[in-house]
Amino acid sequence: MTNSVREIRDADCIFITGSNTAEAHPVISYEVVRAVKKGAHLIIIDPRRIPLVDHATLFLQPHPGTDIYVFLAMMHVIIREGWMDETFIAERTEDYDAFAAILEGYTPERAALASGVPEEKIIQAARWYALGERAHGESIYEEAHGHSTILYAMGITQRSNGTDNVLTLANLSMLCGQIGKPSTGVNPLRGQANVQGACDVGGLVNVLPGYQQVTDDKLREETAKTWEVEQLPCDVGLTIVESTHAALAGEVHAIYVMGENPMMSDPNSNHVEEAFRKLDLLIVQDIFPSETAYLAHVLLPAASSLEKDGTFTNTERRVQRIRKVISPPGEALPDWSIIADIAARVTQKLDRKPGPEAWKYDSASSIFDELTLVTPIYSGMSYDRLQPSGLQWPCPSETHPGTPILHLDTFARGQGKFHAVEARDPAELTDEEYPLTLSTGRVLYHYHSGTMTRRSAPLHWREPRGYAEINRQDAEAIGLKDGFAVIIHSRRGTIRTKTKISEGVPPGTVFLAFHWREAPANRLTQDHTLDPIAKIPEYKISAIRLENPRAR
């Protein structure tokens, strides 16, 4: 997030898209509810009527995959009506003209045609967001215009044009000067406890800790020096999806999986399974024998986040201490100590420099101290400084208070760059054979592949089994009623689950959470067309067909 969670309550206008906030990030939805109760406008753009819509002052329901037309049209209107922030554009941004030129084609009329969202709603949303208008009550901010904030999540990123969507929202915020101030910004809501941190410390194919490009020789050498190794690999690596392809092609022979469950969470499970079976070595290090574990050669028992010390970095870039609350079961160990041990042994065997002793860490904090040396955005941090409520990066020095709001006076790259983005359609469109669109996601009571929540008694009691949310029309078309069994086919595979008739999904769309091993959503999703830049699979849009088993 460019801004902080607790600023949302003071926003004058909140714009949410591609985030089922109340279910996937409940505590952030609390902030939104507060703002609305105080009089803020809440604009929601989502194909589904998500719970938070009950509080929305404006709800736009585009057909799946057409939201970008709405975003572009909003900016078209903003420029047409002169609602943009000219000073901000002039002083803080570049490449405006090329961007503006492209927008001319994206009229509200066109957007309405493509997305099914009425023009007047698009114009209304554009106005409220651009000018930060409130429904009622007083703004706490002095300026002429109120403060508007954008919240988004996987709904727009898990798409073959996910990067375009994100850039578009960035454009929107810069166009209106709704960034670099409190209660504004472009705020991705990260889905997992430490997804932010895992990226920060280099858990990506293209960057070293602190987002230093692996392709940058200078940066690479600095890190190598700190680590006392001669050299570090300079080519961008393979992502998990690419690796499965590579495994099938016989190029990848071993995969070391730590605390993940690709069999459930990666697209086109059948494909993943095929690949994993081909591996010479699959290491699964986890707290439970996950679905992936049953293909592994070796299982290494890890301590859960309740059973070890360390740090998590949350969606607002806040690095916080986690502490050992209870002891790990049996012989389970913290992941870091397992890795350290393996690393020491491999160093030995491959006779790498420096020797095994370099892998002796006595505590999580000693690792953190080393981490801060190679991670500039963390360099001012230490366990002591993280008490009691953490620090938000960048925190470059021991005295730096952390950074609640990014891009205050200048952007990371200097000027904010407008990207001229065109609308693109989803990779897999519906047709006669597969007439419906499947969208995957989460429900309130479960989390991800369900390894944890489905083993929690109260949560299981509340949401014991999976279901596909289907609109009454689509259900009745093939004689399905609420709670009936239903079979879902896609070009990748077939699953069977129960129906939940819901007005929450529009006709033509089916929603299925990916928590349910007995109905694994990712047997249906496609892995052939990823987002070209971010390599994100298009979880949110797959063409499917429903079948009523009783009709067999």
Partner 1 sequence: MSDTGPSNGKLKKAQEHPSGDDRYVALDRTMKRFHNEKDALLEVLHSAQETFGYLSEELLFYISNHLHVPLSQVYGVATFYHLFTFEPQGKHSCIVCTGTACHVKGSSEIVEEMSAVLNIPVGKTTEDGLFSLSTARCLGCCGLAPVAVINGEIQGKATPETIAGKVGRILADERIAQDQEEAG
Partner 2 sequence: MITLSIDTKTIQVAPDTNVLKAALDNGIHIPHLCYHPELSISGGCRLCLVEVEGQDQPVLSCGLTAAEGMVIQTQSDQLKELRRGVLDLFISDHPLDCVVCDKAGSCTLQEYAYEYGLKDTSYEPTVSSTLFQDDNPFFLRDHQYCILCGRCVRVCDEIVGVHAIDFANRGFETNIATPYDGPMIDSTCVFCGNCVQVCPTAALMPVSRLQRGREWDLDRTLSVCGYCGVGCQIEYATKDDAIIYAQAPEHGAANGSFLCTKGRYGWDFATSPERLKQPMLRRDVAHELGLTEEPWALPETSPLDIRKPNVEQYFVPVDWDTALEFVSSRLSDITESHGPDSIMGLASARCTNEDNYLFQKFMRAVIGTNNIDHCARL
Binding footprint of partner 1 on the chain (CB under 8 A):
22-23, 49-51, 54, 443-444, 482, 500-504
Pairing of strands 13-17, 41-45: parallel
Pairing of strands 310-313, 318-322: antiparallel
- Choose the contact partner of 292 out of partner 2, partner 1, none; CB within 5 to 8 A by kind: partner 2
Please report the DSSP string for 349-414 in residue order.
Answer: HHTPSS-GGGG--SSHHHHHHHHHHH-GGGTT--TTTTTTT-EESP--STT----SSSSSSSBTTB
- Choose the contact partner of 456 out of partner 1, partner 2, none; CB within 5 to 8 A by kind: partner 2
- Choose the contact partner of 239 out of partner 2, partner 1, none; CB within 5 to 8 A by kind: partner 2
For residue 482, the minimal CB distance to partner 1 (Å) is 6
What is the pattern of x (binds partner 2, CB under 8 A) and - over residues 509-528? --------x--x--x-----
Identity of the residue, 176 or 214, whose beta carbon is nearer to partner 2 in the bound complex: 214
Identity of the residue, 24 or 296, whose beta carbon is nearer to partner 1 in the bound complex: 24
Q: Which residues, 6 or more positions from 61, have their beta carbon under 8 angstroms from its beta carbon?
A: 45, 46, 47, 48, 49, 116, 117, 506
Identity of the residue, 372 or 499, whose beta carbon is nearer to partner 1 in the bound complex: 499
Identity of the residue, 19 or 430, whose beta carbon is nearer to partner 2 in the bound complex: 19
- CA angle in degrees (0–180, nearest 5) for 134-140-142: 95
- Choose the contact partner of 243 out of partner 1, partner 2, none; CB within 5 to 8 A by kind: partner 2
Judged by CB under 8 A, the stretch of 110-118, 175-183, 282-290, 420-428 that binds partner 2 is 282-290
Pairing of strands 436-441, 416-417: unpaired
The alpha carbon dihedral of 152, 137, 408, 125 has a sign of positive
Identity of the residue, 127 or 190, whose beta carbon is nearer to partner 2 in the bound complex: 190
For residue 39, the minimal CB distance to partner 1 (Å) is 16
Identity of the residue, 26 or 355, whose beta carbon is nearer to partner 1 in the bound complex: 26
Write out the two tokens for 186.
Answer: 């472009």
- Choose the contact partner of 319 out of partner 2, partner 1, none; CB within 5 to 8 A by kind: partner 2
What is the pattern of x (binds partner 2, CB under 8 A) and - over residues 359-388? --x--x--xx-xx---x------------x
- Choose the contact partner of 50 out of partner 2, partner 1, none; CB within 5 to 8 A by kind: partner 1
Please, which residues bridge with residue 188 across strands? Answer: 152
Count CB-CB contacts under 10 A for residue 388: 6
Q: Are 392 and 404 in contact (CB under 8 A)?
A: yes
For residue 464, the minimal CB distance to partner 1 (Å) is 11
- Choose the contact partner of 504 out of partner 1, partner 2, none; CB within 5 to 8 A by kind: partner 1
- Choose the contact partner of 459 out of partner 2, partner 1, none; CB within 5 to 8 A by kind: partner 2
Distance from the Cα of residue 305 to its chain's centroid: 20
34 touches partner 2 by CB under 8 A = yes
Counting every residue written for the chain, the total comes to 552
Q: State the amino acid at position 457 in one-letter form.
A: A
Q: Which of 281, 408, 429, 533 binds partner 2 (CB under 8 A)?
A: 281
Q: How far apart are CA 407 and CA 184, in angstroms?
A: 11
Identity of the residue, 89 or 536, whose beta carbon is nearer to partner 2 in the bound complex: 536
> Interaction with partner 2 in 36-95: which residues (CB under 8 A)?
36-37, 52, 54-55
293 touches partner 2 by CB under 8 A = yes
Please report the DSSP string for 227-268 in residue order.
Answer: HT-S----S----HHHHHHHHHTT---EEEEES--HHHHSSS
> Interaction with partner 2 in 173-192: which residues (CB under 8 A)?
189-192
For residue 24, the minimal CB distance to partner 1 (Å) is 12
- Burial of residue 413, with CB atoms counted within 10 A of its CB: 0-12 exposed, 13-18 middle, 19 or more buried: exposed
Q: Are 73 and 106 in contact (CB under 8 A)?
A: yes
Q: Which of 62, 65, 197, 394 binds partner 2 (CB under 8 A)?
A: 197
Write out the two tokens for 45.
Answer: 């753009």
165 touches partner 2 by CB under 8 A = no
Q: How far apart are CA 330 and CA 332, in angstroms?
A: 6
Identity of the residue, 130 or 470, whose beta carbon is nearer to partner 1 in the bound complex: 470
* Site size for partner 2 (CB under 8 A): 169
Q: Helices 67-81 and 119-131 meet at what angle, rounded to 10?
A: 60
Write out the two tokens for 7.
Answer: 């600023």
For residue 456, the minimal CB distance to partner 2 (Å) is 4
Q: Which of 202, 380, 394, 504 binds partner 2 (CB under 8 A)?
A: 202
- Choose the contact partner of 523 out of partner 2, partner 1, none; CB within 5 to 8 A by kind: partner 2
338 touches partner 2 by CB under 8 A = yes
Neighbouring C-alpha atoms within 13 Å toward the C-beta of 447: 13
